[in-house]
């Protein structure tokens, strides 16, 4: 697995929850490529398997031959200029340039062509007014139209940022829930004796991979990347029986290189050069399904299996992991606050999935977008006529400055409206997935902590910083001594909790009956 989380080897796929031998499948069903059928192990060969599911080793072999060509994933073969103007931004890098001089993340490249157009337009108006006929008009429109443009840009910016903030909120919720579910699986799910314990351990690791694969699959879905053989996803979910696996297309993983004119057009924000973001989905020859939801189904099946085999015995943890039930308190009434519901982790995964899809699929209505763009351009084009009477030749640079401000704000709103893309200002989804992978590795790096091991250690300074004595010393004292020391932590002044803190406790412990 990429992003720091180790995936099982291709030839040793771990047993999954609810795994059982599949029944033979009729030939007519196999011929139609039913994605629910997988009657043969991966190692068997069939000559008539063109419509069958692609075995997992094929994905790994594919990655070995196409890793360098995944331009849209890691951009290893892209130029420095491409990495500079594309994103998302690397949060680990720090720039010492003053913020008003920075280009990384700026919309200046997309403003070049509009600024050239405004410069030519304002120059033409100024020349005609100075040499042929005065075209100047009253500048009263500056106030009237300026107010309208301000309202339009404010609305555009606020709605776009709200979508960006909602996207970040959902991914924060995903990270938090991944931590909670991983801890429940790793710590609160037991392991049986003997070979069953080894099987339980491998299934727990596989469940951890499913948690990460949900986040990675969600990232690709939000970027309209429908395949399963991406480098960071194939090792995690390539063994699952999913629609995306059946619809795997090598051409989707290896897109054609962009021409110079197309790349330049995208840098400059030319709308004619931009591709349909859903083109990979539209080109799919088979149903691509809903990979994050299908992964969630497999994860839910695993949770049901550990409840059934008795390794997850706590009803509290069972409810947290999978079920969503109403509060049974008699004072509960329908329609009360949502906090009256026990919303659990798999349900939260589904809420994150639905919420991010809402952000992605519900942009600002087209009528608003068109009207705001038209209002902004009308104001910019009328501006030279209003400025010429007062500024004369300064009308040209003044119009360009005003256009940069107005059109720049409109461009920013358009860029951050979809926070899940590849722009510099979009959310760094790769960073979030790597964070989840690293934290899952941290959780699984050690077995479940034994309470006796870490609670009774001699270096457990139970009353730090008041006392430097360890657990063993305090275990030999009376309950009155311990409670008196706890009170001393509150009563003692901050200066008493310095280097002489142990002296304070020592004096208390020598007089156990004395009131502290």
In this predicted model, what pLDDT tens digit does every residue of 215-238 receive, in sequence order? 999 999 999 998 888 889 999 999
Q: How far apart are CA 320 and CA 314, in angstroms?
A: 10
Q: How far apart are CA 77 and CA 450, in angstroms?
A: 48
C-alpha torsion sign, points 63, 65, 66, 67: positive
The structure tokens listed for 234 are 């194939």
- The single residue listed with the structure tokens 């280097």 is 499
* Highest mean pLDDT (candidates 61-70, 161-170, 327-336, 500-509): 161-170
Percentage of residues in the chain with pLDDT exceeding 90? 37
Give the number of C-alpha atoms closer than 13 A to the C-alpha of residue 422, restricted to the C-beta side: 18
Q: Which of 287, 280, 296 is nearest to 218 (CA)?
A: 296
Q: Which of 383, 405, 375, 379 is nearest to 125 (CA)?
A: 383
Determine if the peptide bond prior to 499 is cis (ω within 30°).
no
- Examine the pLDDT at 422 and tell me if it is beyond 90: no
Looking at residue 201, what is its pLDDT?
93
- Examine the pLDDT at 96 and tell me if it is beyond 80: no
Q: List residues bridging with 325 in a β-sheet.
A: 342
Looking at residue 60, what is its pLDDT?
52
Q: What is the DSSP string of 346-405?
A: HHHHHHHHHHHHHHHH--S-HHHHHHHHHHHHHHHHHHHHHHHHHHGGGHHHHHHHHHHH
- Examine the pLDDT at 256 and tell me if it is beyond 80: no
* Highest mean pLDDT (candidates 200-214, 329-343, 462-476): 200-214
Quickly state the pLDDT bin for 399 (edges 50, 70, 90).
very high
pTM (predicted TM-score): 0.74
Quickly state the pLDDT bin for 315 (edges 50, 70, 90).
low
Query: Between 436 and 314, whose confidence is greater?
Result: 436
Q: How far apart are CA 488 and CA 504, in angstroms?
A: 8
Greatest distance between any 2 Cα atoms in the chain: 106
- The single residue listed with the structure tokens 């994860």 is 299
Query: Between 477 and 95, whose confidence is greater?
Result: 477
| Contact criterion met (CB below 8 Å) for 162 and 364 | no
- Examine the pLDDT at 174 and tell me if it is beyond 70: yes
Which helix (H) or strand (E) covers residue 326, if one does?
strand 325-326
- Examine the pLDDT at 47 and tell me if it is beyond 60: no
Beta-carbon count within 10 A of 147 CB? 10
| Contact criterion met (CB below 8 Å) for 417 and 409 | no
Quickly state the pLDDT bin for 334 (edges 50, 70, 90).
very low
| Angle between helix 479-491 and 501-509 (nearest 10) | 140
- Examine the pLDDT at 516 and tell me if it is beyond 50: no
Looking at residue 222, what is its pLDDT?
95
- Examine the pLDDT at 504 and tell me if it is beyond 60: no
The structure tokens listed for 42 are 């991966």
Phi, psi of 325 (to 5 degrees): -125, 155
Q: How far apart are CA 207 and CA 296, in angstroms?
A: 11
- Examine the pLDDT at 34 and tell me if it is beyond 90: no
Q: How far apart are CA 57 and CA 3, in angstroms?
A: 20
Quickly state the pLDDT bin for 276 (edges 50, 70, 90).
confident
| Contact criterion met (CB below 8 Å) for 462 and 471 | yes
Quickly state the pLDDT bin for 444 (edges 50, 70, 90).
very high
Beta-carbon count within 10 A of 424 CB? 18
Percentage of residues in the chain with pLDDT exceeding 70? 70
The structure tokens listed for 62 are 């594919």
In this predicted structure, which of 47-61, 207-221, 453-467 has the lowest mean pLDDT?
47-61
Domain boundaries defined on the chain: 455-509
Q: How far apart are CA 474 and CA 479, in angstroms?
A: 9
Looking at residue 80, what is its pLDDT?
52
Q: In the predicted model, what is the mean pLDDT of the chain?
A: 76
Average pLDDT over residues 86-101: 70
- Examine the pLDDT at 268 and tell me if it is beyond 60: yes
Average pLDDT over residues 323-342: 36
- Examine the pLDDT at 178 and tell me if it is beyond 80: yes
Give the number of C-alpha atoms closer than 13 A to the C-alpha of residue 300, restricted to the C-beta side: 16
Looking at residue 65, what is its pLDDT?
47
Looking at residue 12, what is its pLDDT?
40
Instruction: Supply the DSSP symbol for 68.
Output: G
Quickly state the pLDDT bin for 376 (edges 50, 70, 90).
very high
Average pLDDT over residues 346-370: 92
Looking at residue 110, what is its pLDDT?
85
Average pLDDT over residues 98-105: 75
């Amino acid at each position: 697995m990429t992003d720091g989380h180790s995936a099982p080897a291709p030839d040793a796929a771990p047993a999954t929850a609810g795994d059982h031998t599949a029944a033979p499948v009729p030939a007519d069903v196999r011929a139609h490529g039913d994605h629910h059928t997988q009657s043969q192990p991966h190692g068997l060969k069939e000559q008539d398997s063109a419509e069958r599911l692609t075995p997992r080793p094929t994905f790994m072999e594919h990655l070995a031959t196409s890793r360098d060509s995944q331009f849209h994933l890691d951009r290893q073969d892209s130029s420095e200029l491409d990495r500079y103007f594309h994103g998302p931004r690397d949060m680990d890098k720090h720039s010492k340039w003053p913020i008003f001089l920075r280009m990384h993340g700026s919309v200046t490249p997309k403003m070049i062509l509009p600024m050239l157009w405004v410069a030519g337009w304002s120059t033409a108006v100024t020349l005609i007014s100075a040499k042929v006929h005065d075209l100047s008009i009253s500048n009263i429109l500056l106030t009237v139209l300026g107010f309208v443009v301000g309202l339009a840009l404010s609305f555009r910016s606020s709605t776009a940022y709200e979508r960006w903030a909602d996207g970040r909120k959902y991914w924060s919720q995903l990270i938090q829930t991944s931590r909670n579910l991983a801890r429940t699986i790793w710590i609160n799910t037991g392991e049986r004796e003997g070979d069953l314990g080894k099987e339980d351990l491998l299934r727990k690791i596989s469940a951890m991979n499913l948690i990460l694969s949900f986040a990675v699959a969600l990232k690709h879905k939000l970027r309209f990347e429908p395949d399963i053989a991406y480098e960071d996803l194939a090792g995690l979910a390539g063994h699952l029986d999913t629609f995306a696996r059946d619809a795997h297309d090598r051409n989707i993983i290896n897109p054609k290189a962009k021409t110079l004119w197309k790349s330049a057009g995208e840098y400059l924000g030319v709308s004619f050069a931009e591709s349909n973001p859903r083109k990979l989905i539209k080109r799919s020859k088979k149903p691509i399904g809903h990979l994050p939801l299908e992964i969630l189904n497999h994860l839910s099946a695993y949770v049901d299996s550990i409840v059934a085999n008795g390794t997850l015995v706590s009803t509290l943890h069972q409810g947290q992991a999978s079920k969503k039930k109403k509060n049974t308190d008699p004072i509960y009434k329908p329609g009360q606050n949502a906090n009256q519901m026990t919303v659990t982790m798999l349900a939260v995964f589904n809420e994150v999935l639905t919420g991010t899809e809402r952000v992605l699929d519900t942009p600002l209505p087209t009528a608003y977008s068109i009207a705001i763009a038209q209002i902004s351009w009308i104001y910019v084009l009328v501006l030279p006529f209003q400025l010429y009477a007062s500024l004369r030749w300064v009308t040209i640079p003044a119009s360009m400055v005003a256009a940069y401000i107005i059109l720049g704000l409109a461009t920013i709103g358009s860029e951050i409206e979809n926070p899940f893309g590849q722009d510099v200002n979009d959310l760094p989804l790769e960073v979030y997935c790597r964070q989840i992978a690293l934290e899952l590795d941290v959780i699984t790096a050690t077995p479940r902590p034994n309470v006796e091991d870490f609670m009774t250690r001699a270096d457990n300074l139970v009353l730090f910083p008041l006392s430097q004595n360890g657990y063993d010393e305090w275990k030999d004292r009376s309950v009155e001594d311990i409670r008196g020391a706890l009170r001393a932590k509150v009563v003692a002044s901050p200066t008493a909790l310095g280097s002489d803190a142990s002296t304070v406790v020592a004096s208390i412990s020598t007089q156990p009956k004395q009131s502290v």
